[in-house]
A and B are shown apart, each in its own frame.
Chain A
Amino acid sequence: MSPFPRRLAFDVGAEALSLTRAGRELYSVFVRTLYYVVYGRREKGAVVRQMYEIGNRSFVFLTITMGFIGMIMVYQSGLQTKRILPEFSLLGATYLELLTRDLAASLGALMLATRVGAGIAAEIGSMVVTEQVDALRMSAADPIDYLIKPRFLASIVMTTALVIWGGFVAFSVGGAVGYFAFDISPRTFASIQLVNHGDLITGLVKCVAYGAAIPVVSGYCGLSTFGGSEGVGWATTRAVVSSSLAIIVLNFFISGAALIVFPK
């Protein structure tokens, strides 16, 4: 065999092996987190503290980004609708349907993945580098029980709450843009005629799935930190990329499943 295909085969094989290994470890972190949610020790206030860290401190960031997303969405789709449809009466209803089913959850979670994911990985990564995690293991406390479980529970609750708030912000700001840019009256815009229970369930399932994925993926990246400050940087980078990818892939599968379960 000539050297190039051989090297390519080696590279692909090595990549596939490391991906499988990472997937298995990620799965193990997830399962252990679930186990500790049921059987773990209860530390008073830990979940609430994480809820504050994850939720309240992302509030302003999420409000600003979702507000701007709302403006962009309505502005762009208004411009495009103008090209093919004579009037805008369905714009608001379609927008609300899309927000409920997909955009609020997916874009909001992507924003949270960058902020929360980077934060979790940086925090746990610094603990690993300064050997605080080893100290936890020495004291017979599983770092997953102690560090990841509270973030997991807090993230599920706060992602859902923040996504609902973000969707509300995006919709109201979008309504304002519709009124000022395209003269759509707010009453026509705020129509829920196209939103059904299937959209709501899909949106909520997405919230919970993303909320669970972000802390597990970035916690795993944080725990697998090695090396000094450079390692922390690497772990944080990996956490952001992997949790964003996880959201996009989950979105694909949940959207596909929703299309089959709730056909329109």
Chain B
Amino acid sequence: MNNFIIEDTKSTPYVEINYTNNKLILKGESYPENSYNFYEPIYQTIDKYFENYDALSADVQLSYINTSSIKCLMIFFDKLNKNYINGKDIKINWFYDEDNGFDYDMGQDFKMDIDIPFEFLSINNGE
């Protein structure tokens, strides 16, 4: 199966769902005019993914997320959380920029709502 890839734009992040090494990558900024249009295909793909795969490691590095994207990501993490509760092996690596602050706060907010192992990794200490 081909990997699911959306290239990044000024207002949307790079998205990759890799079937061979069971990885999800979200990287960039997210503030599209219509967030639902952007995240809807990702929801569908992740639902299908968990029909066939049992493990997922998500690497997230988002320097800015607007309000409606936050809502969309909440829905997305909620989906992951449901699968985690159903026994899938999922973990989240939240990469943040120490100079930013906003992204770390966001991560904290998301972490609060879900049960998935959630690790914070600073990109300043050399990845």
Whether both chains belong to one complex is answered with no
Which residues of chain B have a CB within 8 Å of any CB of chain A? Answer: none
